[in-house]
Amino acid sequence: MDFNDIEKAWKNEKTPEMALPSNLDKLASVNMPLDKIRKNLKNELILQAISVGIIGGLPFLYRFSGDLKAVFYMLFLPFVAICSYFLIKLYQFYKRLPKQQLSTKDSLYETYYDILLNIQLYKSFTYSLVPFALVFVGMIMLHDFQGVLTDFFNPEKNRKAIGFAVGFFIGMTASIGFVTEWWVHKFYGKYAKEIRKVLDELKE
């Protein structure tokens, strides 16, 4: 068989590889949600770092007394340590997200489950800061309304005020939880669902 015969046989050969472009198109379709996640995460990391710096300046902004300032920074140090740990983890996740087109279903599965894992990490990060947020808000209230709060938490003078204070902090905690779930879904969760949809289509 000469070269022309080989070439003709190769052109006429039918193989199952004809389905490959369809799969490649589906894999390519996840680039948009991945790009959105990368962009949102990059902005998030910058925003979180700036927020930590702003929180650190609250005692000067509100002109805390020396004792209150000392207590604030005693709590601020573990706050920074927790933020640093989670932000480093999220940054590592950001670096792992593929910048180029995914070429295999296995790589897409790995990326998808990495996204889910880090969504849970993000939620854990937010919820771990709730006690600090409550204490910091309490310090601001203590500074601005010190005289009022003395009576506010005195059961003999104002029992209803205690219930209001408890309700305020419960409401604040619930609000943080609601905003966290909404934020995660808007900026990460809905794009993870788009990737899941592509994975389900690849099974068909």
Q: What are phi and psi of 61, to 5 degrees?
A: -65, -40
Q: Rounded distance, CA 132 to CA 129, Å?
A: 5
Question: What pLDDT score was predicted for residue 13?
Answer: 47
- Cβ contact 164:171 at 8 Å: no
Q: Rounded distance, CA 199 to CA 197, Å?
A: 5
Q: Rounded distance, CA 134 to CA 120, Å?
A: 22
- Whole-Å CA distances, 128 to 40, 83, 102, 104: 21, 9, 34, 36
Ordered by start, the domain boundaries in the chain are: 22-203
Question: What pLDDT score was predicted for residue 121?
Answer: 95
Question: What pLDDT score was predicted for residue 102?
Answer: 65
Give pTM, 2 decimals.
Answer: 0.78
Question: What pLDDT score was predicted for residue 141?
Answer: 77
**pLDDT tens digits, 71-89:** 999 999 999 999 999 999 9
Question: What pLDDT score was predicted for residue 30?
Answer: 72
Question: What pLDDT score was predicted for residue 52?
Answer: 95
Q: Rounded distance, CA 41 to CA 53, Å?
A: 19
Q: What is the pLDDT along the chain (204 residues), one digit of tens a residue?
A: 454 554 555 455 444 443 434 565 666 667 788 889 999 999 999 999 999 999 999 999 888 888 889 999 999 999 999 999 999 999 999 998 876 666 677 778 888 999 999 999 999 999 999 999 988 988 887 766 655 555 555 655 566 666 777 788 889 889 999 999 999 999 999 999 998 888 888 776
